[in-house]
Structure 1
Amino acid sequence: MNAPTHMMPGMPGMPPPIPMPGVVPPPPRIPKLPPPTEPCQTLYIRNLPETRALTALESALKALFSQFGEVVHIRLKRNISLRGQAFVTFKEVDSATKALKEVQGFPLSGKPMDIQYSRNRSDKAAELEGEEALQEHKRKRAEEKANRHKKPKDEKVDAAAVAAVYGPGYYYGAAMPEDMVPPNSILFVQNLPPETTEAVLAALFQQFQGFKEVRLVPGKSDIAFVEYESEMQAGVAKQSLNKFKITPEKEIKVTYAKK
């Protein structure tokens, strides 16, 4: 029997997604605020499949995260503009911490999940401690909301703390390293000899399928952009020509262009 059409790879009853050979998953995002480093029972998850089948998505999340401990609540963002986000609350903080480390980047329906601790304690987590704790939690939340505009907008980032929780690949407040730029159809070429012409570069890169054009940068004789029809075709050229010696002294550097 075929699986229901609303089910996605990675969901219970469906095989896990098979990564394409040579395809590198996108690097972690650069968030607007530093991710929280204080462990809590609730995880905030983004980059989920933006599906209307929310019941199926909730079931998939429950099956996935229950492997790490008791899940007491899952809240999905239902607004169209906020789809692809969810909060998962565990009974124990240790379970949330283990899930964060183990599930970070897991491709649910082909989309790697971006997970961090929630900035705010959930009502469900407070409710586990009793009605009095829940009411105190709600009082503090209302107080914090009223005073939020008084807090400075800029937060100091403890880079070591962020790296300890999320790993060294979670870049906050810094330019993304060139080697971590996600694959796309445009290549960035550096370390070109000053005398390099558009014709010379075109002859070098057009030997690979999908070549479209070369774009030199006015006033910058050592860099250029090369565009292909697809990111896969660009990837082949990148892999073949990175560190290619265009002259005996000049080894060019080829990376994906930042967008």
Structure 2
Amino acid sequence: MASETVYLKNLNERIKIDRLKTELQHRCAKYGTVLTIVARNTLRTRGQAFVVFSSAEEAAIAVKALHKGALFGKRMIAVLSRSRSFAAADALDPTGAEEYKASVREKRAKRKEEEEQERKQAKHAAEGAEGPLSKRRRTEETAGGRRGGAGGGGKERSMPPNKILFLQELPPGVQAAPLEAVYDKYPGFLEVRLMAVRRLGFVEFDTEEHAVVAREGTRSLVLEGYPVKVTYAKK
């Protein structure tokens, strides 16, 4: 359904929240009535904000105007929220807000179970991409590569094309925003999902063809000084 909430990401994390919200209020007011802005400086939510408008039409206009616009030295990524945010529910439907929130929390719990399944799939995908090398052999090859590249002779088993790319050896503590900035320029980009603890990620596109183009364009991807291995996820 149409959403009254605009989701902003790739915001400058160094800007204080009060200043960020003030500037967003000033900019977004040009496109409609802003009911509330939600932005927090937590590990999971920094660099992001939700702007709730009084109507879905106003939110759609704001997305077109704000997407890839510069704010505090970074280009924003603006999209419509996939569902009504809690802030929008409180502002637009106070009587039904609690029931709506309970429904969303139930869906999130289900999603958490699905993410656990994704972690298992990621393990299989990593094993498929690396081949049947033992942990000791992989460690030796990594060490050999750091000494000059002479020690890494194992061949990787490539996965067939898929609309989901599989990223390995991401920088420690990586956030989604830098990857979104890389892949957003490719047609059909949908989302980035991270397993930061294991330095793994998935980048999803709407079609296999678009994923192939993006993979070809990021074969030599280096992020924060770390060469990232980009393959296809296991089907």
Scaled by the length of structure 2, the TM-score of the pair is 0.49
Scaled by the length of structure 1, the TM-score of the pair is 0.45
Whichever structure has more helix as a proportion of its residues is: 2
Name which structure has the greater RCO, CA cutoff 8 Å, separation 6+: 1
Structure with higher Rg: it is 1
